[in-house]
C-alpha cells in the first residue's frame, strides 16, 4: 500500500472506449487526447484531475519547468470561465474544442454504459476472428486486453512491410507496433468510436475481411 502515491492513468486509447471510474477506483489523473476513442481530430490533450492531485500540485515547492502546459496558468482561467468571467492566458485551439464538444455530446447522448458495452462486443468479435485465423494477440489474456484496439503478432515469416501495404491496398490502415522490445513483431487494429458505435458503416467487417485477404496474399495459411 502506498497511500501517498498519486495514481496517473495514460488513457489515450481507453477514455471513451473503456470502463474507467475515476472516483470509485481512486485515480488521481486520467490523461487522454482528442483523437482516439473520443473521436475528434488530434490536437487536444484532455485531463481529469482529482482534488488530491490539485492539492499536491498547489503544495509543490519546485517551479513548473513548462510554460504552456503549466496548470498554474490554466487553473485561474478555468475558474474564471466557471464563474462566467472573461479571462485570458492563451488562445486555445477553438476549432478542436468545438469538435471535441460535438463528439462528447454524441457520447453522452448515447450513454457511456452503452458505449462501453458496444466496444466490448466489437473487441470480442475482432479478437475471436484473429484467434480463428490462427494469429496471436500481444496481451497474454483477454481479461487484460484493451477493448478499443487489438495488438496482433505477425505470423511467422510475415513482416510489417509485407502485410501493412497489402492492407493499405484494401483501403485499411493498420498501425505498426510501438512497444520498443517487440515493435517490429506486431501490428495494431483500432476498433473504437464510430467504427464501433455506427456498425452500419461496416468498418469492422471491411477491416477483418481485408486482414484475411491480405494474409492470404502474403501466402499465409492458418494452421488447422
Ligand atoms: C496513442 C497513444 C498514445 C500516444 O498519443 P499521441 O497523442 O498519438 O502521441 C499514448 N498512450 C496511449 C495508451 C496511446 O494509445
Ligand 1 pocket residue status of 13, Cβ below 6 Å: yes
Rounded to the nearest angstrom, the distance between the alpha carbon of 191 and the centre of ligand 1 is 15
pLDDT band, very low/low/confident/very high, at 85 (cuts 50, 70, 90): very high
User: Which residue among 8, 11, 33, 44 is best mutated to probe the pocket of ligand 1, counting the most ligand atoms within 8 A of its Cβ?
Assistant: 33
pLDDT band, very low/low/confident/very high, at 122 (cuts 50, 70, 90): very high
- In 98-212, which ranges are E strands? 149-153, 175-176, 186-190
| Whether residue 223 has pLDDT greater than 80 | no
User: Which residue among 12, 100, 138, 147 is best mutated to probe the pocket of ligand 1, counting the most ligand atoms within 8 A of its Cβ?
Assistant: 12
pLDDT at 222: 81
DSSP element (H, E) containing 99:
helix 94-110
pLDDT at 159: 95
Three-class DSSP category at 189? strand
pLDDT at 224: 61
User: What secondary structure does DSSP assign to 136-157, as a single string?
Assistant: -BSSS-GGGS-SSEEEEEPPTT
Ligand 1 pocket residue status of 38, Cβ below 6 Å: no
Per-residue pLDDT, averaged over 97-110, amounts to 97
User: pLDDT by residue (tens digit) across 184-219?
Assistant: 999 999 999 999 999 999 999 999 999 999 999 999
pLDDT band, very low/low/confident/very high, at 2 (cuts 50, 70, 90): confident
Q: What are the residues whose beta carbons fall under 8 Å from the beta carbon of 185, sequence distance 6 or more?
A: 153, 154, 177
Three-class DSSP category at 30? strand
Which domains are present in the chain? 8-110 (3.40.640.10), 112-217 (3.90.1150.10)
| Whether residue 41 has pLDDT greater than 80 | yes
What is the C-alpha to C-alpha distance for residues 30 and 22, in angstroms, rounded to an integer? 8
Amino acid at each position: 500500500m502506498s497511500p501517498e502515491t498519486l495514481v496517473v492513468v495514460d488513457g489515450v486509447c481507453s477514455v471513451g472506449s473503456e470502463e474507467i471510474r475515476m472516483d470509485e477506483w481512486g485515480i488521481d489523473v486520467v490523461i487522454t487526447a482528442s483523437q482516439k476513442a473520443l473521436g475528434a481530430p488530434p490536437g487536444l490533450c484532455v485531463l481529469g484531475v482529482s482534488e488530491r492531485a490539485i492539492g499536491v500540485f498547489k503544495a509543490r515547492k519546485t517551479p513548473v519547468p513548462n510554460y504552456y502546459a503549466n496548470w498554474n496558468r490554466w487553473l485561474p482561467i478555468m475558474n474564471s470561465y466557471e464563474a462566467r468571467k472573461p479571462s485570458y492566458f492563451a488562445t486555445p485551439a477553438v476549432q478542436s474544442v468545438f469538435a471535441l464538444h460535438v463528439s462528447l455530446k454524441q457520447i453522452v447522448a448515447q450513454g457511456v454504459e452503452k458505449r462501453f458495452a458496444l466496444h466490448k462486443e466489437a473487441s470480442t468479435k475482432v479478437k475471436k476472428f484473429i484467434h480463428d485465423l490462427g494469429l496471436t494477440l500481444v496481451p497474454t489474456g483477454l481479461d487484460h486486453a484493451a477493448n478499443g484496439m487489438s495488438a496482433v503478432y505477425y505470423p511467422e515469416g510475415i513482416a510489417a512491410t509485407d502485410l501493412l501495404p497489402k492492407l493499405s491496398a484494401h483501403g485499411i490502415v493498420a498501425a505498426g507496433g510501438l512497444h520498443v522490445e517487440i515493435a517490429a513483431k506486431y501490428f495494431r487494429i483500432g476498433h473504437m468510436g464510430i467504427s464501433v458505435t455506427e456498425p452500419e458503416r461496416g468498418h469492422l467487417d471491411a477491416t477483418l475481411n481485408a486482414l484475411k485477404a491480405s494474409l492470404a496474399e502474403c501466402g499465409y495459411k492458418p494452421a488447422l
